[in-house]
Amino acid sequence: MAIYEPIEDKNGRRAYRLRSPVSLEPIGELECATSEEVQTAVDRARAAQVAWAATSFEERAAVMYRMTDLLIEQQDRIVDTVIRETGKPRAEAVSMEVYSSCDSLVFYAKRAKKFLRREKRRIHGVLGLLKKAYVVYKPRGVVAVITPWNGPFVLALNPTVQALMAGNAVIIKPSEVTPYSGALVADFFREAGLPDGLVQVVMGDGRTGADLVAAGPDKVSFTGSVATGRKIAVACGEQLIPYTLELGGKDAMVVCRDADIDGAAKGALMGSCMNTGQYCCGTERIYVVEDVYDEFLAKVVAGAKALRQSDDVDATDVGATFWDRQMAIIEDHVDEAIRSGARVEVGGGRNPELDGLYFQPTVLTEVTHDMKVMRDETFGPVVAIMKVSDEDEAIRLANDSPYGLNGNVWTKDAARGIELACRIETGAASVNDMALSYGVNEVPFGGVKDSGVGMVNGPEGLRGYCHAMPIIVHRFGSGPASSYPYTPKTAEDMSKAMKFFWGSSLMRRWFG
């Protein structure tokens, strides 16, 4: 049964019926915004942004702190909405959606002023004697935030907080699979006292998202699949709109011969099964050096067997798969792997005891890179483990992928862990931990290869919601570097100057 399915148009709009992945019971209907409504929202945002851009960082931060208080006081409102749409365990709804949101709000409220303050840059060489340079971070205007269903509240909130702190207005287009969790972000901002029009939500499907990009925002912050990311890149390219694309991954985990095997086994289970495996930085492929393979596998199998799965969100470790489309992908990958010779150590299929969308925590071995489960994004609670002869083979296999989002290395030698992590072709990595990179606000995050374009989060991400505008000031009165009329001597003088400034190693040191 489909989690969301089209129903007859309502009020001239496309409409869908939504169901709970836990019970498959209907939980509501989604009416898509029309393209005119989307355009009106963008125009309204553009008008509201002018006054917001003139506010101080302290005024913006005050809204973020009020919002944080509301999130803490009313966390059940968020958790209940997220659980209704996704069937996540309550612990994951609180940690991933509410805790991370509060962390993001306070982090950027506290630091945006420092990250975005006007910078003075020293100009090198002789020009520096005559000119001063500043870089001013100016808000871009209206940011379109288009989000997926796997972290439906936090993935709408986090870019929105950054865009707002940088002085922009935001239009959120939440996933059609989890629309009400995304819409809640705007409700909370309104209640926190954010002026009208600065955060709006357009509800709808992929066409609504395309309408939003076509409506001409000043930046698109997209999180979602590679296929949609490519379409957005084309649409933005046609209009020359800047964008960031946070896309899918196939993250590798490398277990070295000197790893803490207990910790690595726990990391493998958490990395593969957290959020029911529907986590962009989830661990999808595990390469274990043969010396420690048996010990590692025994611990992972024991741990996987101990994981609870039930439709009681307060008594389960691995929750529902949020969407039947994802369930079909997980089943396809696991079934194909089994048909091609993979060995099922634990699980291997849907949970027969539950009516909803539940795939059992699964451990597969004897997997190869010919199988989809090692090549394409599975996004399910599947721990796929391969034995390798040494760390070099592990890195070679880790890099045999079109994706490059995140990865992790497990070794007691942290310096070697960093060195191995650097050799993985990936946007981010961790040593002796999993899936952390998106949640550490100090650092930028973004994929390489098919996993994305641009960086989000951290000072770099925050600055991405701005145009870095250089302003060059002449120090003494006014004066261009050369003036009319040009004579043969003008070019001759320039040639002599080049030779003088950069023609010897001594002068290069001074003027370079």
CA dist 470 and 232 (Å) reads: 29
Is residue 338 a contact partner of residue 366, using CB atoms and an 8 Å limit?
no
The residue at minimum Cβ distance from ligand NAD is 209
Q: Which two tokens stand for residue 408?
A: 């992790």
Which residues face 243 on adjacent strands? Answer: 220
Choosing from 85, 97, 176, 246, the catalytic residue is: 246
Nearest-approach distance from CB 445 to ligand NAD, in angstroms = 7
Q: Which two tokens stand for residue 509?
A: 């040191």
| 96/431 with CB nearer ligand NAD | 96
| 222/358 with CB nearer ligand NAD | 222
- 346 closest CA partner among 363, 369, 327: 363
- Helix/strand/coil for 199: strand
CA dist 170 and 271 (Å) reads: 32
- Helix/strand/coil for 370: coil
Nearest-approach distance from CB 153 to ligand NAD, in angstroms = 12
| 167/458 with CB nearer ligand NAD | 458
- Please list, in sequence order, all residues whose beta carbon lies within 8 angstroms of the beta carbon of residue 454, skipping any fewer than 6 positions away: 243, 244, 245, 446, 464
| 160/365 with CB nearer ligand NAD | 160
Residue appearing with tokens 């996933």: 175
CA dist 299 and 59 (Å) reads: 52
| 253/256 with CB nearer ligand NAD | 253
Q: Residue 162: is it exposed, middle or buried by C-beta count within 10 angstroms (0-12/13-18/19+)?
A: buried
CA dist 153 and 96 (Å) reads: 9
CA dist 265 and 253 (Å) reads: 11
Strands 343-346 and 362-365: antiparallel
Q: Which two tokens stand for residue 396?
A: 């070679």
| 224/319 with CB nearer ligand NAD | 224
Is residue 153 a contact partner of residue 82, using CB atoms and an 8 Å limit?
yes
CA dist 43 and 63 (Å) reads: 23
Nearest-approach distance from CB 185 to ligand NAD, in angstroms = 13
Nearest-approach distance from CB 257 to ligand NAD, in angstroms = 31
Annotated catalytic, 246? yes
Which residues are near ligand NAD by CB under 6 A? 146-151, 155, 173, 175-176, 205-206, 209-210, 213, 223-225, 228, 231-232, 246-249, 280, 377, 405, 438, 447, 452
Q: What's the CA dihedral at 339, 341, 343, 349 to 10 degrees?
A: -10
Nearest-approach distance from CB 42 to ligand NAD, in angstroms = 14
CA dist 418 and 435 (Å) reads: 16
Choosing from 236, 256, 273, 280, the catalytic residue is: 280
CA dist 427 and 405 (Å) reads: 5
Nearest-approach distance from CB 475 to ligand NAD, in angstroms = 45
Nearest-approach distance from CB 64 to ligand NAD, in angstroms = 21
| 2/469 with CB nearer ligand NAD | 2
CA dist 34 and 32 (Å) reads: 6
| 378/411 with CB nearer ligand NAD | 378
Nearest-approach distance from CB 416 to ligand NAD, in angstroms = 27
- 326 closest CA partner among 432, 225, 199: 225
Strands 452-453 and 243-246: antiparallel
Nearest-approach distance from CB 477 to ligand NAD, in angstroms = 51
Stated as kind and residue range, the H or E segment containing 422 is helix 414-423
Strands 403-404 and 448-449: antiparallel
| 345/376 with CB nearer ligand NAD | 376
Annotated catalytic, 102? no
Q: Which residues are catalytic?
A: 246, 280
